[in-house]
Copies of this chain bind each other. A is one copy, B any other.
């Protein structure tokens, strides 16, 4: 096994102590220029590289931050992580990625492992209700920031989008373009973001004096197939809906495919709006109206909130709830608003 060069090797070679070497390399002012230069050049010659593990152990700072997500190969999480990595890297941190597949046991195990490896913070989009684990993070005083899928906890920061507003805006737009019977393709309402989108949907109906119809709500997973199934089911209602707000772009796509198969004209006779602004929604010939969540921005913001928290570690704990405003993206799957 290759032996790595340490400051002791340099010290021995120059017949000085490791302390001097360390100081020289760190530009400590009370080292003479002659010594400093000698040490630096010798270090170079000997291919010295600092072992940050030793530093981490000594200082208690690993400069690693754990990021926990259900999966990384989705456009949304990929973009969020892009933003996180970009921002943290600038500040000397490295990002350790963990996937949970949305499974609580995996999430808990990953968090345990991250804590053991002394991460300086944990940024998480959670899929679990295992509060004991979060309590443990907090008790250890490891900075914790939720993003997108959060748990509402005292003293814990989070960065989310306003899913209620997203649901409200999407629904309101459908109403403004003349839709009367608006169906909703729901995600798992145990997850806060989906619950909020649903509440936004209901509120928009209420504000516009449209009765909420339970029959128009279909539980779906975020898949094309579930979107198609939902349409098949919805079209049996009497009267059938004339619009769909889907909490997922994938289900929206499936819905559109099925509607086309049934020869229903979009957006003339039926409107569809999705959620997330997945890239494909823009690429379709019949491009899909949707809600943008600014994932890159969310990632950057999450990183910034963490960095602030670290900077403020002396002070009292700060709790910062950042809520990004989602944006309506209008495309061809919904009608234009007709002038009043």
Contact = CB atoms under 8 A, between A and B. Distances in A.
A299 to B, nearest CB: 9
A286 interface: yes
Given A94-B113, A94-B117, A283-B283, 11 more contacts: A2-B139, A4-B140, A50-B116, A51-B118, A53-B56, A72-B81, A94-B114, A96-B96, A224-B283, A280-B284, A284-B284
A85 interface: yes
A53 B63 contact: no
Contact of A115 (B49, B63, B64, B224): B49
Interface string A217-259: 0000000100000000000000000000000000001000000
A106 B114 CA distance: 26
Interface string A67-95: 00001111100110110011001000011
Interface residues of A, number: 56
Contact of A97 (B81, B136, B141): B81
Nearest to A78: B73
Contact of A82 (B49, B71, B86): B71
A140 B2 contact: yes
Give this chain's copy count: 2
A41 interface: no
Nearest to A296: B73
A189 interface: no
Nearest to A280: B280
A82 B313 CA distance: 33
Given A98-B85, A99-B85, A53 B117 contact: yes
B99 A96 contact: no
A95 B97 contact: yes
A280 B98 CA distance: 26
Contacts of A35: none
A57 interface: yes
A262 interface: no
Interface in A283-320: 283-286, 296, 313
Contacts of A116: 49-52
Interface string A1-37: 1101000000000000000000000000000000000
Contacts of A213: none
A81 B73 CA distance: 8
Interface in A95-125: 95-99, 110, 112-118
A162 interface: no
Contact of A53 (B1, B53, B112): B53
Nearest to A80: B73
A169 to B, nearest CB: 24
A285 to B, nearest CB: 5
Contact of A62 (B53, B97, B139, B313): B53
A86 B100 CA distance: 9
A47 interface: yes
A205 to B, nearest CB: 30
